[in-house]
Homo-oligomer: A and B are copies of this chain.
Amino acid sequence: MKYCFGVDLGGTTVKLGLFEESGKLVDKWEIITNTRNEGEAILPDIAKTITEKIAEVKIQETEVIGVGMGVPAPVTAEGTVNGSANLGWKYKEVRKELKELLGFDVMVGNDANVAALGEMWKGGGAGEKNMIMVTLGTGVGGGIISDGHIVIGNNGAGGEIGHICVNYDETQVCGCGNRGCLEQYASATGIVRLAKKKLTAETRATELVQENITAKDVFDCVKKGDIVAIEIAQEFGHYLGYALANICTLMDPAVIVIGGGVSKAGEVLLEFIEKAFHERVFFANKSVKFSLAKLGNDAGIYGAAKLILRD
Contact = CB atoms under 8 A, between A and B. Distances in A.
Contact of A252 (B157, B168, B251, B254): B157
Given A178-B280, A242-B168, A152 B147 contact: yes
A222 interface: no
Interface in A103-141: 128-130
A163 B251 contact: no
A259 interface: no
Contacts of A284: 74, 155, 157, 160
Contacts of A164: 246, 249-250
Given A176-B282, A282-B160, A284-B74, A253 B147 contact: no
A251 B285 contact: no
**Number of chain copies forming the complex:** 2
Instruction: Give the size range of A's interface with the partner.
Output: 35 or more
Contact of A151 (B128, B156, B250): B250
A240 to B, nearest CB: 14
A133 to B, nearest CB: 12
A93 to B, nearest CB: 19
A206 B75 CA distance: 51
A293 to B, nearest CB: 19
B251 A153 contact: yes
A310 to B, nearest CB: 13
Nearest to A146: B151
B245 A165 contact: yes
Interface in A47-85: 74, 77
A249 B161 CA distance: 7
A154 interface: yes
Contacts of A178: 280, 282
A3 B157 CA distance: 37
Contacts of A77: 129, 147
A91 interface: no
A247 interface: yes
A149 B152 contact: no
Contacts of A149: 146-147, 149
Contacts of A177: 283
Contacts of A88: none
Interface string A282-301: 11110110000000000000
Interface of A: 74, 77, 128-130, 144, 146-147, 149, 151-161, 163-165, 168, 176-178, 242, 245-247, 249-254, 280, 282-285, 287-288
15 contacts: A130-B152, A146-B151, A149-B149, A151-B251, A152-B252, A153-B253, A154-B252, A154-B288, A157-B282, A160-B252, A160-B282, A164-B249, A165-B246, A165-B280, A246-B246
Given A130-B152, A130-B153, A160-B284, 9 more contacts: A128-B154, A130-B154, A147-B151, A153-B253, A154-B288, A157-B285, A158-B251, A164-B250, A178-B280
